[in-house]
Structure 1
């Protein structure tokens, strides 16, 4: 019984740690990172996302820290009104994910 309780506790700790790996960054923290040169400017990141979908319009953006990496998430609608979700490395501007939203 003691082994089962220990296993359950360890599983709960690992699950909690996994959930805490991504966190949303507020506007003040995002601006500090940009001003420090840690991440690209939001204009450059938005331009990189729009370059993948010319004629598109950005609906929403969000900056997260995931596993020590800054990820800029962009939701946009292209010229054909198709919704896209993109993720960019906020430090380099590299597009990590680009998929059509369901």
Structure 2
């Protein structure tokens, strides 16, 4: 029983630690990172997301720091009206995820 309790406790700690690793960055912090050249411009990042869905429009963006990486999230709607979630590495501009919003 002690082993099971210890295993469950360790699992809970691991899960809550993982959740604490991601944090949203506010507009002021995002602009400082962009101005310092730490991350790419928002125009370039939006263009990279839109390149995956030509004719689309950006509806919302968000910058997060996850496990020490800056992740730029773009919610967009393509020319056919389908909604997409695109995640990019904000430093390199590389598309990390591109999936249809469900």
Q: Which runs of 5+ in 2 are unaligned?
A: none
Tell me the residue number matched to 1:62.
62
Question: With structure 2 as the length reference, what TM-score do the two structures score?
Answer: 0.89
Judged with a 3 Å threshold, the aligned counterparts in structure 2 of structure 1 residues 14 and 51 are, in CA distance, closer, same or farther, namely: same
CA RMSD of aligned residues (A): 1.5
Task: Tell me the SS of whatever aligns to 2:37.
Answer: coil
Aligned ranges for residues 1-102 of structure 1 at < 5 Å?
6-102=6-102
Question: With structure 1 as the length reference, what TM-score do the two structures score?
Answer: 0.89
Distance 2:86 2:19 in 1: 21
Q: How many residues align?
A: 102
Deviation at 1:21, TM superposition (A): 1.3
Q: Which runs of 5+ in 1 are unaligned?
A: none
